[in-house]
Structure 1
Amino acid sequence: MEYRQLGRTGLQVSPLVLGTMNFGPRTSEADSHAIMDAAHEAGLNFFDTANRYGSPHGQTEEILGRWFAQGGGRRERTVLATKLYGQMGDWPNEGKLSALNIRRAADASLQRLQTDYIDLYQMHHVDRDTPWDEIWEAMSVLRQQGKILYVGSSNFAGWHMATAQGAAEAAGVVGLVSEQSLYNLMSRWVELEVLPAAEHHGLGVIPWSPLSGGLLGGVLAKQRDGVEGRGTANTDGIEKNREVLTAYEALCDDLGEKPADVALAWLLTRPAVTAPIIGPRTPQQLQDSLRVPEIELDDATLERLDELFPAPFPRGSKPAPEAYAW
């Protein structure tokens, strides 16, 4: 396993992130623990979760916590990322990014995760109501207490990231080290301003939904074979994109690779991307993804993928401002 630096930090992480959103709602606790054990055996050290994952909220963090509690170096070998922002209860101040909620949410996640620190604490969404000096002071207190090591963002616009970094510099703190964004072959909007902002400020990009809800996972072949899944249930998405998905799956067949693996391998070629999130529901699905970092896509393949899935703004894949100006 060749590890990558997370943005401008010295932190080394695996080129795939184990996403845990399925743990609890769609994957049993026993299978979730088996998947995490298999991930460690394969060298994956980067796990991502959130305080709202699971039903009830917090269930997924609790599953991870009971796995860590088994010992055997599980926590020590894991770069643990979790998130806060979403409402966790009915009362005020149980969501978003006030100093009060940052403190309470961090303590609650630590208790559920059965650990005394979080490696990467991510803001799940931008909070338009809380000033950055309040946010950075609260995060700095958590760092001084040893409860978090790094801070990341998720679902931020490029200018949100730039504003956050400017405020962090003024406060004399490290600021953001990563941004978790929706990014895949079928959704390339982040190339306009998010990726350039991440490159400029030294943030590692962590793509979520890398298979576009299963549409890039060989959905047409699964349909033909009668395999049911998240992607095959998206009949509107399939019909809307049938022509390009047909060409995509044919290209993957020519390469001798699975469509899901090609979609993930493509993300690893993109500027600023550190590692995409995979969300296996079973140990076998995890095994199927492990060879992705070994796949090399040649220039002709990358050009063909650009033809099939062009950036959704003028002038090809050029970032702003050339995308909309001279």
Structure 2
Amino acid sequence: MKSTLALGPAAVQHLVVDEESAGQRLDNYLFRQLKGVPKTHVYRIIRSGEVRRNKGRICASDRVQGGDVLRIPPIRLSERVAEKLAHPAPAREFPVVFEDDAFLALDKPAGVAVHGGSGVSFGVIEQMRQARPLANMLELAHRLDRETSGLLLIAKKKSALKGLQDQFRERETGKTYLALVRGVWPARLKVLDQPLHKYLLADGERRVRVVEADHPEAMRSISLVRVVRHVPSPKAMLHQYPEGFSLLEVTIKTGRTHQIRVHLSSAGHPIAGDDKYGDFELNRCLVKSGHRRMFLHAWRLRLTHPISGCAIELLAELPLELKKWADIQNLT
């Protein structure tokens, strides 16, 4: 019996459910096993009875158990999906901050998406799976914006994934970012408690804005801000931006899309290099000075180990290009 699937061949396959996957809904289990196959197709073969458990019918909501033998019908892929599987993401390892049998913490570089989609063929997770073909499971425990660098957690077993996701959902983790913003941040402004709303531009691109609390789609969003230090403007920008910049620690109590970027921009202090919510004239000046990325870095993460229950603090030091930018040394 097989414990993994080969997609594409026009033949029935049989898959043995491992103990780590016990308790998962059938549909969720198959989504993980049949990566690249549209969900609509997965549901179709379940509803039609082509997927069998121990020779009997099974529903999408039924939970699989360790040792179950699943019959998987021939999976005929579209040309687009077949092409994607024939040319997978290139294998790539990323700097590891922490790793054990349960999960690993990567230091994700800026400019790399965490997963494929929305015009991106592949991201960190697809590359890691190619780099570690013997890993039973590698799943993102949370997300980071493509332009943001820093700590990214990947679960290596189902119990760890659930434990980490529960902590993020229940706001039990301490996620602190480093951000460089335009101007002098008011030291008294320590709590940003502003609801956010996601919307789409005319071209379909996603954006977020601050709204009133009574907005029908408002999501409460809280960021805590601490000023680390003042950073003078480069000489070439001193005349135009005499107030320089502020390096901030921003701890988010809620994990909304683009939360830090929108909160800081709404306060009148956009993040340097932010191409969505930033000061575009400032960004042009920064590019001329050789600074081409957004200064936002997932720096510190405090959490409870999902298996042992021990408290953990993870740190990802500022990347060299940001240290050079703000002349910051030995911050951690």
Q: TM-score range by the shorter chain?
A: under 0.3
Where is the strand percentage greater, Structure 1 or Structure 2?
A: 2
| Higher helix content, 1 or 2 | 1
Specify which structure has the bigger relative contact order, considering alpha-carbon pairs within 8 angstroms and separated by 6 or more residues. Answer: 1
**TM-score normalised according to structure 1 size:** 0.26
Name which one, 1 or 2, has greater alpha-carbon Rg: 2
